[in-house]
Amino acid sequence: MHRILSASKDTYITNKVINNNFRATDANVGQAGTLDLFKLYEESTWVSGSTKVTGSVKEISRILLKFDLSAINRMQAAGKIDMNSSNFICNLKLHDVYGGQTTPDKFNIIVFPLSKSFDEGSGYDVKMFQDLDVVNFITASYKNGILSKWNLPGAMASGTLNENNIDVISSGTIAGPAGSALTSLSPIQYFENGTEDLEINITKIISGTVSGQIPDLGLLVAFSGSYETDRNTYFVKRFASRNSANTAIRPKIIVKYDDSIHDNHEDFIFDSTGSLYLNNFSFDSTSNIRTGLGGTELTGGNVMVLKLTTGSFKKTFNVSQALRGDNKITGLYSSSFAISSFETDLRSHILASGSVTFDQVWSNSAETITYLSSSLIVKPNKRTAFDNFHQNLLVTVTNLRESYKTGDVIKLRVFSEDRERDIKFKKLPYEKKSQVYHQMFYRVRDFKSGDILINFDTKYNSTRLSTDSGGMYFEFYVDSLPIGRTYVFDFLIKKNGFDTVITDAASKFRVE
């Protein structure tokens, strides 16, 4: 699962000196097209009261961001993700908008969760900073006739979680699966050239916020530590804001989670561990199997058995409710095991035909109640002489519509075949099955501009396709993409040490 959340508020605050005269501490740039991060040292003078200040003058800016995290709340409540799992990753991404201006290099940027809420404001003057509104360098928000100031100008009061009179949270004791522990809540990214995007892991902040341990007030982005206090100038690191005309580069949180499920009904092989899954439905919805007169639901571990038989061979394996992290998946059960090709009762069959067809029976532990009976073909490992082959693959998204609404969550089926595989002739109508690849990934590309909005994720597997007895599929959140544009899905297949990218999958669609 790969989902993009857009910013609901963003701006930056500054005490920049204007015309060597005064500081623009009351200026607001909430509607500006960029988020400017800078520190100037002894580049200006200014007048404080009747005194002209000429030495050690520092001018800084800090970026403020707010995201609606309700989507993560809903996914967690529905069991779509497990925030305590190592598979759950959240990255904050700000896109650099270098336009030929002077850019600093070799610096660190730090991110904090905010301890005070802020108003975005309506200002957009980024030259003379003449638009007055909250939020600004002094004030954070204005609500019900009450003006709320930062505890220190520039939101510079930092402290630990639940500490009073702070603006940003640097660390805190966060409860997790291993208990409570003092955790750093201020990740840092180093910029070597100064033109890089900001893409920083904020998983601990998001997990703590969604679980109610950290206040949901937003984020602050700043130069870290000595880069704000030293005698150097860093001007100007510029990111796109949520008001950028290019919707693809607006601030975002990228949520990554490996929710792929890999069923081996179509490609189970000897001597390797595979997984088989059983789905249960009540009418049109998944539901747990009910058994006995009391209708007891089968939930948890070792709730049934899977029996494989052929001739005199018989083996049973435990079956448990499938998990996504620690979350039980309603109506889905699985068993993982291996079948040895050296089993005495199978050896003659394997030598004769290579593959063996088993009767598979899913039943209660006493084998008195059958939930499903079917068959399973287990095949031998593929072995060939060395072959530096080229894959000629056809990939199609079989159920893609021409357009989708931004709130849609779609489950897409993918058909794939090697164009050079053997053709089987049939006299009766025959539905050709998709070949199955367990290392297949999708990406999303803007059809017109060619910009990649979601790339292949082979590190966290958030874009990996799932497999079942019908082939391959993946679930996609349409609200990850800006509206009014046309996109295409591309695919990456990793097989036998080769990477094959398919860009002609006929998978064009529009987001309305």
User: How confident is the model at residue 422, as a pLDDT?
Assistant: 59
User: How confident is the model at residue 418, as a pLDDT?
Assistant: 80
Judged by phi (left if over 0) then psi (alpha if -120 to 50, else beta), residue 300 lies in left
User: How confident is the model at residue 101, as a pLDDT?
Assistant: 84
Collect contacts of 182-189 with beta carbons under 8 A, ≥24 apart.
183/208, 185/112, 185/113, 185/161, 185/214, 186/110, 186/111, 186/112, 186/224, 187/110, 187/111, 188/108, 188/109, 188/110, 188/111, 188/224, 189/108, 189/109
> What is the distance in angstroms between the CA of the first residue and the CA of the last residue of the chain?
21
Q: Which percentage of the chain shows pLDDT scores above 70?
A: 95
Q: Once rounded to an integer, what is the mean pLDDT over residues 356-366?
A: 96
361: Cα within 13 Å, side-chain hemisphere: 16
Please name the helix (run of DSSP H) or strand (run of DSSP E) that holds residue 190, with its range, or none.
strand 188-191
Q: Average pLDDT, whole number, for the chain?
A: 93
Q: Taking a C-beta distance cutoff of 8 angstroms, is the pair 276, 374 a contact?
A: no
Q: Flag whether the pTM goes above 0.75.
A: yes
Q: Once rounded to an integer, what is the mean pLDDT over residues 348-364?
A: 93
User: How confident is the model at residue 179, as a pLDDT?
Assistant: 63
Q: Report residue 385 as tokens.
A: 């002489």
The DSSP result for 49-81, as a single string, is: TTEEE-SS-EEEEEEEEEE--HHHHHHHHTTS-
Buried-state track 195-229, b at ≥16 Cβ within 10 A, e below 16? eeebebebbbbbbbbbeebbbbbbbbbbbbeebbe
pLDDT band with cut points at 50, 70 and 90 for residue 420? low
Q: Which percentage of the chain shows pLDDT scores above 90?
A: 84
Euclidean distance between CA atoms 111 and 269, whole angstroms = 48
Q: Taking a C-beta distance cutoff of 8 angstroms, is the pair 6, 108 a contact?
A: no
pLDDT at 300 over 90: yes
Q: What is the pLDDT of residues 465-506, one digit of tens each?
A: 999 988 999 999 999 999 999 999 999 999 888 899 999 887
pLDDT at 425 over 70: no
User: How confident is the model at residue 383, as a pLDDT?
Assistant: 74
Q: What is the pLDDT of residues 149-208, one digit of tens each?
A: 999 999 999 999 999 999 999 999 998 765 678 899 999 999 999 999 999 999 999 999
List the domains of the chain with CATH numbers.
Answer: 2-256 (no CATH), 274-378 (no CATH), 393-511 (2.60.40)
pLDDT band with cut points at 50, 70 and 90 for residue 427? low
Judged by phi (left if over 0) then psi (alpha if -120 to 50, else beta), residue 279 lies in beta
Euclidean distance between CA atoms 488 and 198, whole angstroms = 26
Reported residue count of the chain is 512
The DSSP result for 80-142, as a single string, is: S--TTSTT-EEEEEE-B---SS----SEEEEEEEBSS-----S----SS---B-SSSSSEEEE
pLDDT at 430 over 60: no
User: How confident is the model at residue 421, as a pLDDT?
Assistant: 60
Q: Provide the residue type at 46 as one letter.
A: W
